Structure 1
Amino acid sequence: MVPMEQRIVVTGASSGIGRAVVRHATRRGWRVLAVARREERLASLAQETGCDVLVADLTDADAVARLVAAAEAFDANALVHVAGGALGIGTVPETTLEDWQGMFDANVVSTKRVLTGLLPQLRRSTAGGAYASIQVVTSIAASVPYAGGSGYNAAKAAEKALVDVLRLELHGEPIRVMEVQPGMVRTEEFSLVRFGGDQARADAVYEGVQDPLSADDVAQVMTDVLALPGHVSIDQVVIKPVAQTHPWMVHRGPLQAKG
Protein backbone atom coordinates (compact mmCIF):
# COMPACT_ATOMS: atom_id res chain seq x y z
CA MET A 1 0.00 0.00 0.00
CA VAL A 2 1.34 3.42 -1.00
CA PRO A 3 1.39 5.92 1.93
CA MET A 4 -0.93 8.87 1.44
CA GLU A 5 0.52 12.35 1.00
CA GLN A 6 -2.59 14.41 1.60
CA ARG A 7 -3.35 17.06 -1.02
CA ILE A 8 -6.83 18.18 -0.09
CA VAL A 9 -9.42 20.42 -1.70
CA VAL A 10 -11.59 21.94 1.06
CA THR A 11 -14.79 23.72 0.06
CA GLY A 12 -16.70 26.15 2.26
CA ALA A 13 -13.34 27.25 3.64
CA SER A 14 -14.11 30.87 4.47
CA SER A 15 -15.86 30.17 7.79
CA GLY A 16 -17.06 27.57 10.27
CA ILE A 17 -16.20 23.92 9.80
CA GLY A 18 -14.47 24.41 6.45
CA ARG A 19 -12.09 27.06 7.81
CA ALA A 20 -11.36 24.86 10.85
CA VAL A 21 -10.59 21.88 8.61
CA VAL A 22 -8.03 23.96 6.70
CA ARG A 23 -6.35 24.93 9.96
CA HIS A 24 -6.21 21.36 11.26
CA ALA A 25 -5.04 19.95 7.94
CA THR A 26 -2.20 22.43 7.50
CA ARG A 27 -1.06 21.84 11.09
CA ARG A 28 -0.67 18.20 10.12
CA GLY A 29 1.60 19.24 7.27
CA TRP A 30 -0.92 18.49 4.55
CA ARG A 31 -1.23 20.60 1.42
CA VAL A 32 -4.61 22.31 1.16
CA LEU A 33 -6.47 24.13 -1.61
CA ALA A 34 -9.11 26.20 0.22
CA VAL A 35 -12.19 27.13 -1.81
CA ALA A 36 -14.90 29.67 -0.95
CA ARG A 37 -16.76 32.70 -2.29
CA ARG A 38 -15.20 35.42 -0.11
CA GLU A 39 -11.81 36.48 -1.36
CA GLU A 40 -10.80 38.55 1.68
CA ARG A 41 -11.46 35.67 4.06
CA LEU A 42 -9.46 33.27 1.91
CA ALA A 43 -6.59 35.75 1.80
CA SER A 44 -6.44 35.93 5.60
CA LEU A 45 -6.66 32.14 5.85
CA ALA A 46 -3.78 31.76 3.38
CA GLN A 47 -1.68 34.19 5.38
CA GLU A 48 -2.45 32.28 8.59
CA THR A 49 -2.00 28.71 7.35
CA GLY A 50 -0.01 28.79 4.10
CA CYS A 51 -2.83 27.11 2.16
CA ASP A 52 -3.49 27.71 -1.52
CA VAL A 53 -6.81 29.39 -2.28
CA LEU A 54 -9.42 29.63 -5.01
CA VAL A 55 -12.37 32.02 -5.03
CA ALA A 56 -15.38 30.17 -6.40
CA ASP A 57 -19.16 30.07 -5.98
CA LEU A 58 -19.98 26.39 -6.28
CA THR A 59 -23.55 27.06 -7.41
CA ASP A 60 -22.03 28.47 -10.63
CA ALA A 61 -21.00 25.95 -13.30
CA ASP A 62 -18.19 28.14 -14.66
CA ALA A 63 -16.71 28.55 -11.18
CA VAL A 64 -16.77 24.78 -10.67
CA ALA A 65 -14.95 24.37 -13.99
CA ARG A 66 -12.22 26.67 -12.63
CA LEU A 67 -12.12 24.55 -9.47
CA VAL A 68 -11.64 21.40 -11.53
CA ALA A 69 -8.70 22.94 -13.38
CA ALA A 70 -7.16 24.16 -10.12
CA ALA A 71 -7.57 20.74 -8.48
CA GLU A 72 -5.82 19.10 -11.41
CA ALA A 73 -2.91 21.55 -11.22
CA PHE A 74 -2.80 20.98 -7.44
CA ASP A 75 -2.70 17.19 -8.04
CA ALA A 76 -5.44 16.70 -5.45
CA ASN A 77 -6.01 13.25 -3.97
CA ALA A 78 -8.74 14.19 -1.48
CA LEU A 79 -11.89 16.28 -1.42
CA VAL A 80 -13.46 17.60 1.77
CA HIS A 81 -16.78 19.11 0.74
CA VAL A 82 -18.19 21.32 3.47
CA ALA A 83 -20.01 24.02 1.48
CA GLY A 84 -23.76 24.16 2.06
CA GLY A 85 -26.17 25.65 4.55
CA ALA A 86 -29.72 26.25 5.75
CA LEU A 87 -32.23 28.95 4.83
CA GLY A 88 -35.28 29.59 6.96
CA ILE A 89 -37.26 27.35 9.24
CA GLY A 90 -40.89 26.20 9.26
CA THR A 91 -43.34 23.59 8.06
CA VAL A 92 -43.59 22.43 4.45
CA PRO A 93 -46.41 24.86 3.56
CA GLU A 94 -44.90 27.74 5.57
CA THR A 95 -41.46 27.69 3.98
CA THR A 96 -40.77 29.36 0.64
CA LEU A 97 -39.86 27.78 -2.66
CA GLU A 98 -37.01 30.29 -2.90
CA ASP A 99 -35.44 28.94 0.29
CA TRP A 100 -35.92 25.34 -0.83
CA GLN A 101 -34.34 26.13 -4.20
CA GLY A 102 -31.43 27.86 -2.50
CA MET A 103 -30.82 24.92 -0.17
CA PHE A 104 -31.02 22.34 -2.95
CA ASP A 105 -28.66 24.40 -5.10
CA ALA A 106 -26.15 24.81 -2.25
CA ASN A 107 -26.38 21.35 -0.70
CA VAL A 108 -27.28 18.99 -3.55
CA VAL A 109 -26.71 20.40 -7.04
CA SER A 110 -23.38 22.00 -6.16
CA THR A 111 -22.26 18.78 -4.47
CA LYS A 112 -23.11 16.88 -7.64
CA ARG A 113 -21.17 19.41 -9.73
CA VAL A 114 -18.10 19.25 -7.51
CA LEU A 115 -18.05 15.47 -7.25
CA THR A 116 -18.57 15.00 -10.97
CA GLY A 117 -15.87 17.52 -11.78
CA LEU A 118 -13.20 16.31 -9.36
CA LEU A 119 -13.70 12.57 -9.71
CA PRO A 120 -11.42 12.21 -12.77
CA GLN A 121 -8.55 13.87 -10.88
CA LEU A 122 -9.17 11.74 -7.79
CA ARG A 123 -9.08 8.64 -9.98
CA ARG A 124 -5.79 9.75 -11.55
CA SER A 125 -4.32 10.23 -8.09
CA THR A 126 -4.75 6.51 -7.34
CA ALA A 127 -2.24 5.44 -9.99
CA GLY A 128 0.48 3.22 -8.60
CA GLY A 129 -1.57 1.77 -5.78
CA ALA A 130 -2.52 4.92 -3.84
CA TYR A 131 -5.92 5.64 -2.33
CA ALA A 132 -8.05 8.78 -2.72
CA SER A 133 -10.61 10.22 -0.31
CA ILE A 134 -13.98 11.93 -0.57
CA GLN A 135 -15.43 13.36 2.64
CA VAL A 136 -18.78 15.18 2.54
CA VAL A 137 -20.36 17.07 5.43
CA THR A 138 -24.12 16.57 5.58
CA SER A 139 -25.98 16.80 8.91
CA ILE A 140 -27.84 14.64 11.40
CA ALA A 141 -30.84 16.26 9.67
CA ALA A 142 -30.01 14.02 6.70
CA SER A 143 -31.05 10.94 8.66
CA VAL A 144 -33.55 12.16 11.28
CA PRO A 145 -36.07 14.87 10.35
CA TYR A 146 -37.14 17.43 12.91
CA ALA A 147 -40.14 19.74 13.08
CA GLY A 148 -39.40 23.08 11.47
CA GLY A 149 -36.53 21.76 9.42
CA SER A 150 -38.54 20.73 6.37
CA GLY A 151 -36.44 22.18 3.55
CA TYR A 152 -33.09 21.56 5.23
CA ASN A 153 -34.09 17.99 6.11
CA ALA A 154 -35.03 17.37 2.49
CA ALA A 155 -31.88 18.91 1.05
CA LYS A 156 -29.52 17.13 3.41
CA ALA A 157 -31.32 13.81 2.95
CA ALA A 158 -30.84 14.21 -0.79
CA GLU A 159 -27.17 15.03 -0.31
CA LYS A 160 -26.75 11.94 1.86
CA ALA A 161 -28.41 9.79 -0.82
CA LEU A 162 -25.98 11.24 -3.37
CA VAL A 163 -23.02 10.26 -1.19
CA ASP A 164 -24.42 6.77 -0.52
CA VAL A 165 -24.99 6.01 -4.19
CA LEU A 166 -21.54 7.36 -5.15
CA ARG A 167 -19.98 4.92 -2.69
CA LEU A 168 -21.82 2.09 -4.46
CA GLU A 169 -20.77 3.35 -7.88
CA LEU A 170 -17.09 3.44 -6.86
CA HIS A 171 -17.19 -0.19 -5.70
CA GLY A 172 -13.89 -1.84 -6.65
CA GLU A 173 -11.95 1.43 -6.93
CA PRO A 174 -9.39 2.66 -4.34
CA ILE A 175 -11.49 5.69 -3.36
CA ARG A 176 -13.11 5.89 0.05
CA VAL A 177 -16.35 7.86 0.33
CA MET A 178 -17.11 9.17 3.81
CA GLU A 179 -20.00 11.18 5.23
CA VAL A 180 -19.82 13.40 8.31
CA GLN A 181 -23.07 14.21 10.10
CA PRO A 182 -22.65 17.01 12.66
CA GLY A 183 -25.33 17.80 15.17
CA MET A 184 -25.51 21.09 17.08
CA VAL A 185 -22.43 23.10 16.13
CA ARG A 186 -22.15 26.71 17.22
CA THR A 187 -20.43 28.65 14.46
CA GLU A 188 -20.42 32.34 13.70
CA GLU A 189 -22.66 32.10 10.63
CA PHE A 190 -24.78 28.95 10.23
CA SER A 191 -27.81 29.97 12.31
CA LEU A 192 -27.32 33.66 11.53
CA VAL A 193 -27.65 32.97 7.81
CA ARG A 194 -30.57 30.62 8.41
CA PHE A 195 -32.49 33.36 10.22
CA GLY A 196 -31.68 36.08 7.73
CA GLY A 197 -29.23 37.92 9.97
CA ASP A 198 -31.42 37.91 13.09
CA GLN A 199 -28.76 37.56 15.80
CA ALA A 200 -31.27 37.09 18.63
CA ARG A 201 -32.95 34.13 16.90
CA ALA A 202 -29.57 32.65 16.02
CA ASP A 203 -28.37 32.90 19.62
CA ALA A 204 -31.59 31.33 20.92
CA VAL A 205 -30.75 28.06 19.12
CA TYR A 206 -27.88 27.47 21.56
CA GLU A 207 -29.36 29.16 24.63
CA GLY A 208 -28.74 27.16 27.80
CA VAL A 209 -26.93 24.32 25.99
CA GLN A 210 -23.80 23.27 27.84
CA ASP A 211 -20.88 22.97 25.42
CA PRO A 212 -22.41 22.80 21.95
CA LEU A 213 -19.87 21.57 19.42
CA SER A 214 -17.46 24.04 17.89
CA ALA A 215 -16.22 24.01 14.32
CA ASP A 216 -12.85 23.04 15.75
CA ASP A 217 -14.35 19.93 17.41
CA VAL A 218 -15.80 18.73 14.13
CA ALA A 219 -12.66 19.53 12.13
CA GLN A 220 -10.52 17.55 14.57
CA VAL A 221 -12.67 14.46 14.05
CA MET A 222 -12.73 14.95 10.28
CA THR A 223 -8.97 15.24 9.96
CA ASP A 224 -8.44 12.33 12.37
CA VAL A 225 -10.57 10.22 10.03
CA LEU A 226 -8.66 11.44 6.97
CA ALA A 227 -5.38 10.59 8.69
CA LEU A 228 -6.30 6.90 8.90
CA PRO A 229 -4.63 4.59 6.37
CA GLY A 230 -6.18 5.00 2.93
CA HIS A 231 -7.77 1.55 2.93
CA VAL A 232 -9.75 2.37 6.10
CA SER A 233 -13.12 3.91 5.22
CA ILE A 234 -15.29 5.33 7.98
CA ASP A 235 -18.45 5.48 5.93
CA GLN A 236 -20.42 7.65 8.33
CA VAL A 237 -19.51 9.68 11.41
CA VAL A 238 -22.22 11.22 13.61
CA ILE A 239 -20.90 13.98 15.89
CA LYS A 240 -23.09 15.54 18.58
CA PRO A 241 -22.50 17.35 21.86
CA VAL A 242 -23.34 15.31 24.96
CA ALA A 243 -26.23 17.70 25.60
CA GLN A 244 -27.86 16.62 22.34
CA THR A 245 -29.05 13.07 22.94
CA HIS A 246 -31.12 13.03 19.75
CA PRO A 247 -31.46 15.51 16.89
CA TRP A 248 -34.59 16.92 18.51
CA MET A 249 -33.72 16.14 22.16
CA VAL A 250 -31.42 18.87 23.50
CA HIS A 251 -30.82 19.43 27.20
CA ARG A 252 -30.82 23.09 28.18
CA GLY A 253 -29.16 23.86 31.46
CA PRO A 254 -26.19 22.37 33.28
CA LEU A 255 -25.55 18.67 32.75
CA GLN A 256 -26.13 16.86 36.05
CA ALA A 257 -23.75 14.26 37.47
CA LYS A 258 -25.59 11.40 39.17
CA GLY A 259 -24.57 8.43 41.22
Structure 2
Amino acid sequence: MQSDRAAKTPRHVAIIMDGNGRWANARGLPRTAGHRAGVERVREAVRTAHEAKIEFLTLFAFSSENWNRPKQEVSDLMGILRFFIHKDLAELHRENVRVRVIGCRETVQSDIRKLLDEAEERTRENTGVTLIIAFNYGARDELVRAVRTIAEAVSAGNLDPASIDEHTVSDTVDTAGIPDPDLVIRTSGEQRLSNFLLWQAAYSELVFIPCLWPDFDRKAFYEALNEYAHRDRRFGTVSAPDIAVGS
Protein backbone atom coordinates (compact mmCIF):
# COMPACT_ATOMS: atom_id res chain seq x y z
CA MET A 1 0.00 0.00 0.00
CA GLN A 2 2.82 2.38 0.77
CA SER A 3 4.28 1.86 -2.71
CA ASP A 4 0.98 3.06 -4.23
CA ARG A 5 1.58 6.44 -2.63
CA ALA A 6 5.24 6.52 -3.66
CA ALA A 7 7.02 9.15 -1.58
CA LYS A 8 4.00 11.42 -1.07
CA THR A 9 3.48 10.77 2.60
CA PRO A 10 2.06 13.62 4.67
CA ARG A 11 4.26 14.69 7.52
CA HIS A 12 1.29 15.67 9.69
CA VAL A 13 -2.20 14.14 9.59
CA ALA A 14 -5.08 15.54 11.66
CA ILE A 15 -8.33 13.60 12.14
CA ILE A 16 -11.79 14.71 13.21
CA MET A 17 -13.06 11.50 14.78
CA ASP A 18 -16.79 11.77 14.09
CA GLY A 19 -19.66 9.30 14.25
CA ASN A 20 -19.28 7.35 17.50
CA GLY A 21 -22.82 8.14 18.62
CA ARG A 22 -24.39 7.28 15.26
CA TRP A 23 -22.41 4.03 15.15
CA ALA A 24 -23.85 3.05 18.53
CA ASN A 25 -27.40 4.18 17.68
CA ALA A 26 -27.39 2.10 14.49
CA ARG A 27 -26.70 -0.96 16.63
CA GLY A 28 -29.19 -0.15 19.38
CA LEU A 29 -26.36 0.54 21.82
CA PRO A 30 -25.81 3.45 24.21
CA ARG A 31 -23.65 6.25 22.84
CA THR A 32 -20.94 5.33 25.32
CA ALA A 33 -20.48 2.03 23.48
CA GLY A 34 -19.61 4.01 20.36
CA HIS A 35 -17.05 6.08 22.23
CA ARG A 36 -15.46 2.94 23.66
CA ALA A 37 -15.32 1.36 20.21
CA GLY A 38 -13.72 4.56 18.97
CA VAL A 39 -10.86 4.20 21.47
CA GLU A 40 -9.71 1.03 19.73
CA ARG A 41 -9.56 2.98 16.47
CA VAL A 42 -7.36 5.55 18.19
CA ARG A 43 -4.92 2.78 19.03
CA GLU A 44 -5.04 1.49 15.45
CA ALA A 45 -4.60 4.98 14.00
CA VAL A 46 -1.42 5.49 16.04
CA ARG A 47 -0.05 2.13 14.86
CA THR A 48 -0.92 2.96 11.24
CA ALA A 49 0.71 6.39 11.50
CA HIS A 50 3.90 4.74 12.72
CA GLU A 51 3.75 2.16 9.94
CA ALA A 52 3.19 4.84 7.27
CA LYS A 53 6.04 6.98 8.68
CA ILE A 54 3.76 9.90 9.57
CA GLU A 55 5.58 12.14 12.03
CA PHE A 56 2.62 13.94 13.63
CA LEU A 57 -0.92 12.68 14.25
CA THR A 58 -3.50 15.05 15.73
CA LEU A 59 -6.80 13.64 16.99
CA PHE A 60 -9.81 15.83 17.83
CA ALA A 61 -10.73 14.05 21.05
CA PHE A 62 -13.03 16.53 22.82
CA SER A 63 -14.08 19.98 21.68
CA SER A 64 -14.82 22.97 23.88
CA GLU A 65 -18.42 22.71 22.63
CA ASN A 66 -18.77 19.09 23.75
CA TRP A 67 -19.42 20.23 27.32
CA ASN A 68 -22.94 21.08 26.09
CA ARG A 69 -23.71 17.39 25.60
CA PRO A 70 -25.83 15.54 28.20
CA LYS A 71 -24.04 15.43 31.56
CA GLN A 72 -23.97 11.64 31.65
CA GLU A 73 -22.33 11.44 28.24
CA VAL A 74 -19.70 14.00 29.25
CA SER A 75 -19.06 12.07 32.45
CA ASP A 76 -18.69 8.85 30.45
CA LEU A 77 -16.27 10.54 28.04
CA MET A 78 -14.11 11.76 30.93
CA GLY A 79 -14.09 8.24 32.32
CA ILE A 80 -12.99 6.84 28.96
CA LEU A 81 -10.20 9.42 28.78
CA ARG A 82 -8.99 8.50 32.26
CA PHE A 83 -9.06 4.81 31.35
CA PHE A 84 -7.22 5.40 28.06
CA ILE A 85 -4.39 7.33 29.71
CA HIS A 86 -4.04 4.89 32.61
CA LYS A 87 -4.10 1.86 30.29
CA ASP A 88 -2.30 3.09 27.19
CA LEU A 89 0.29 5.60 28.38
CA ALA A 90 2.84 2.94 29.29
CA GLU A 91 2.41 1.24 25.90
CA LEU A 92 2.66 4.55 24.02
CA HIS A 93 5.84 5.27 25.94
CA ARG A 94 7.28 1.85 25.07
CA GLU A 95 6.45 2.48 21.41
CA ASN A 96 8.46 5.75 21.55
CA VAL A 97 5.32 7.87 20.96
CA ARG A 98 5.48 11.44 22.18
CA VAL A 99 2.19 12.84 23.52
CA ARG A 100 1.26 16.50 23.30
CA VAL A 101 -2.04 18.05 24.31
CA ILE A 102 -3.60 21.17 22.82
CA GLY A 103 -6.62 23.05 24.11
CA CYS A 104 -7.53 25.03 27.21
CA ARG A 105 -6.70 23.17 30.42
CA GLU A 106 -7.55 25.83 32.98
CA THR A 107 -11.21 24.84 33.21
CA VAL A 108 -10.59 21.08 33.14
CA GLN A 109 -10.98 18.94 36.25
CA SER A 110 -7.75 18.82 38.23
CA ASP A 111 -7.30 15.05 37.99
CA ILE A 112 -7.77 15.15 34.21
CA ARG A 113 -5.31 18.03 33.93
CA LYS A 114 -2.80 16.08 36.02
CA LEU A 115 -3.15 13.04 33.73
CA LEU A 116 -2.63 15.15 30.62
CA ASP A 117 0.44 16.79 32.17
CA GLU A 118 1.80 13.37 33.13
CA ALA A 119 1.32 12.00 29.61
CA GLU A 120 3.27 14.92 28.14
CA GLU A 121 6.05 14.83 30.72
CA ARG A 122 6.58 11.07 30.63
CA THR A 123 6.89 10.96 26.83
CA ARG A 124 8.68 14.28 26.33
CA GLU A 125 11.97 12.75 25.16
CA ASN A 126 10.42 10.18 22.80
CA THR A 127 11.33 10.49 19.14
CA GLY A 128 8.68 8.43 17.34
CA VAL A 129 5.24 9.56 16.22
CA THR A 130 4.04 12.69 18.00
CA LEU A 131 0.43 12.10 19.07
CA ILE A 132 -1.32 15.43 19.55
CA ILE A 133 -4.56 15.17 21.50
CA ALA A 134 -6.94 18.09 21.00
CA PHE A 135 -8.82 18.13 24.30
CA ASN A 136 -11.21 20.89 25.41
CA TYR A 137 -10.11 22.43 22.15
CA GLY A 138 -11.80 24.96 19.90
CA ALA A 139 -9.95 26.85 17.18
CA ARG A 140 -11.71 30.16 17.84
CA ASP A 141 -10.90 29.92 21.55
CA GLU A 142 -7.30 29.08 20.62
CA LEU A 143 -7.07 32.19 18.43
CA VAL A 144 -8.64 34.40 21.10
CA ARG A 145 -6.09 33.14 23.63
CA ALA A 146 -3.26 33.74 21.15
CA VAL A 147 -4.46 37.28 20.38
CA ARG A 148 -4.69 38.00 24.10
CA THR A 149 -1.13 36.77 24.65
CA ILE A 150 0.17 38.90 21.78
CA ALA A 151 -1.75 41.94 23.04
CA GLU A 152 -0.26 41.48 26.52
CA ALA A 153 3.24 41.33 25.03
CA VAL A 154 2.58 44.57 23.12
CA SER A 155 1.14 46.23 26.23
CA ALA A 156 4.19 45.23 28.27
CA GLY A 157 6.48 46.74 25.65
CA ASN A 158 7.98 43.38 24.73
CA LEU A 159 6.61 43.28 21.18
CA ASP A 160 6.47 45.90 18.45
CA PRO A 161 3.02 45.81 16.79
CA ALA A 162 4.68 46.49 13.43
CA SER A 163 6.63 43.24 13.75
CA ILE A 164 3.56 41.02 14.17
CA ASP A 165 3.22 38.61 11.25
CA GLU A 166 2.03 35.06 10.50
CA HIS A 167 5.02 33.61 12.33
CA THR A 168 4.05 35.53 15.46
CA VAL A 169 0.62 33.92 15.47
CA SER A 170 1.94 30.45 14.59
CA ASP A 171 4.41 30.69 17.47
CA THR A 172 1.63 31.66 19.88
CA VAL A 173 -1.18 29.19 19.08
CA ASP A 174 -1.34 25.83 20.84
CA THR A 175 0.56 23.99 18.08
CA ALA A 176 3.68 26.17 18.30
CA GLY A 177 6.64 24.14 17.08
CA ILE A 178 4.45 21.63 15.22
CA PRO A 179 4.18 21.78 11.42
CA ASP A 180 0.74 22.57 10.01
CA PRO A 181 -1.26 19.48 8.99
CA ASP A 182 -0.75 18.40 5.41
CA LEU A 183 -3.94 16.34 5.54
CA VAL A 184 -7.14 16.71 7.55
CA ILE A 185 -9.44 13.68 7.58
CA ARG A 186 -13.01 13.73 8.81
CA THR A 187 -15.03 10.57 9.24
CA SER A 188 -18.84 10.09 9.17
CA GLY A 189 -19.43 11.89 5.87
CA GLU A 190 -19.79 15.37 7.36
CA GLN A 191 -17.91 17.98 5.34
CA ARG A 192 -16.85 20.78 7.65
CA LEU A 193 -13.98 21.59 10.03
CA SER A 194 -16.19 22.22 13.07
CA ASN A 195 -13.86 24.73 14.73
CA PHE A 196 -10.80 22.49 14.33
CA LEU A 197 -7.34 23.90 13.50
CA LEU A 198 -8.74 26.86 11.58
CA TRP A 199 -5.40 28.69 11.52
CA GLN A 200 -3.26 25.63 10.89
CA ALA A 201 -5.44 24.05 8.18
CA ALA A 202 -5.27 27.04 5.81
CA TYR A 203 -3.51 24.94 3.15
CA SER A 204 -4.33 21.43 4.33
CA GLU A 205 -5.77 18.88 1.97
CA LEU A 206 -9.22 17.80 3.19
CA VAL A 207 -10.49 14.24 2.83
CA PHE A 208 -14.00 13.34 3.96
CA ILE A 209 -14.57 9.65 4.67
CA PRO A 210 -18.15 8.27 4.70
CA CYS A 211 -17.50 5.61 7.36
CA LEU A 212 -18.12 6.33 11.03
CA TRP A 213 -15.09 6.61 13.30
CA PRO A 214 -15.44 3.15 14.94
CA ASP A 215 -15.23 1.69 11.39
CA PHE A 216 -12.16 3.75 10.42
CA ASP A 217 -9.58 0.98 10.26
CA ARG A 218 -6.10 0.65 8.78
CA LYS A 219 -7.53 0.15 5.27
CA ALA A 220 -9.61 3.33 5.47
CA PHE A 221 -6.59 5.27 6.75
CA TYR A 222 -4.49 4.13 3.80
CA GLU A 223 -7.31 5.00 1.38
CA ALA A 224 -7.23 8.56 2.73
CA LEU A 225 -3.44 8.62 2.36
CA ASN A 226 -3.74 7.42 -1.21
CA GLU A 227 -6.26 10.18 -1.93
CA TYR A 228 -3.79 12.69 -0.51
CA ALA A 229 -0.98 11.27 -2.65
CA HIS A 230 -2.94 12.13 -5.81
CA ARG A 231 -3.55 15.76 -4.83
CA ASP A 232 -1.55 18.55 -6.47
CA ARG A 233 -0.53 20.89 -3.64
CA ARG A 234 0.35 24.29 -5.11
CA PHE A 235 -0.07 26.66 -2.13
CA GLY A 236 -1.35 29.44 -4.38
CA THR A 237 1.27 28.99 -7.08
CA VAL A 238 0.86 27.65 -10.63
CA SER A 239 2.17 24.24 -11.62
CA ALA A 240 4.62 23.86 -14.49
CA PRO A 241 2.06 22.24 -16.89
CA ASP A 242 -0.36 25.13 -16.28
CA ILE A 243 2.35 27.64 -17.06
CA ALA A 244 3.14 25.84 -20.32
CA VAL A 245 -0.51 25.74 -21.36
CA GLY A 246 -1.09 29.39 -20.54
CA SER A 247 2.08 30.67 -22.17
Q: TM-score, normalised by structure 2?
A: 0.36
